């Protein structure tokens, strides 16, 4: 299950080109039998993820990839709020028996060095505290190449999603192979 925002939902691309769909195809190509459920909602913040968590977990996913925080950053929401929300999602996922992985996000530099550093540190701190895998920056490999992004400069196009999946695949494959508690 991918619990996320527009980056997971597939904003601006065909559903077949969304991150969850491309990830499922990439895993199948490597003979990893895995259904990837898209629980992305455009515009969602980490608080929205918390509010949807019970509904998302009712599908009883074995693994929960959390891709949230981009909209928190775009709204310059307090990093303490982001941390509390992501912690609640990790704990809720674990309580439901799911293995959890964080996909980190970075805040835009116009918010200042102090905010951007504090924002990035949330993901590192939570990964360490809960012992969950962290992919440091979901948009790595795409965000700096305009040919891989939509005109808004925020969302990847289909080719950008492909790059993201290719870059994340080794970490996700390793996570899926870890024994679950």
Residues tagged active-site: 6, 152, 155
Nearest to 69 by CA among 41, 107, 20: 107
C-alpha distance across the termini of the chain, in Å: 17
Angle at 98 (CA atoms; ends 16, 75), nearest 5 degrees: 65
Token pair recorded at residue 34: 């895995």
Calpha distance 165→152 (Å, rounded) = 20
Q: How far apart (Å, rounded) are the C-alpha atoms in residues 177 and 170?
A: 11
* 8 Å CB contact between 15 and 37: no
Contact residues for 165 (Cβ-Cβ < 8 A; gap 6+):
19, 22, 23, 26
């Amino acid at each position: 299950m991918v619990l996320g925002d527009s980056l997971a939902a597939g904003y601006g691309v065909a559903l077949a080109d969304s991150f969850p769909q491309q990830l499922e195809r990439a895993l199948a190509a490597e003979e990893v039998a895995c259904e990837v459920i898209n629980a992305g909602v455009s515009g969602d913040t980490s608080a929205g993820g918390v509010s949807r968590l019970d509904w998302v977990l009712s599908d009883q996913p074995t693994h929960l990839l959390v891709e949230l925080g981009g909209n928190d950053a775009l709204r310059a929401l307090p990093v303490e709020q982001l941390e509390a929300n992501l912690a609640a999602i990790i704990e809720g996922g674990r309580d439901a028996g799911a293995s959890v992985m964080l996909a980190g996000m970075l805040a835009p530099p116009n918010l200042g060095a102090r905010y951007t550093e504090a924002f990035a540190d949330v993901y590192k701190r939570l990964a360490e505290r809960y012992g969950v895998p962290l992919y440091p920056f979901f948009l790595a490999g795409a965000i700096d190449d305009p040919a891989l992004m939509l005109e808004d400069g925020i969302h990847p196009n289909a080719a950008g999603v492909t790059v993201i999946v290719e870059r994340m695949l080794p970490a996700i494959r390793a996570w899926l192979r870890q024994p679950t508690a």
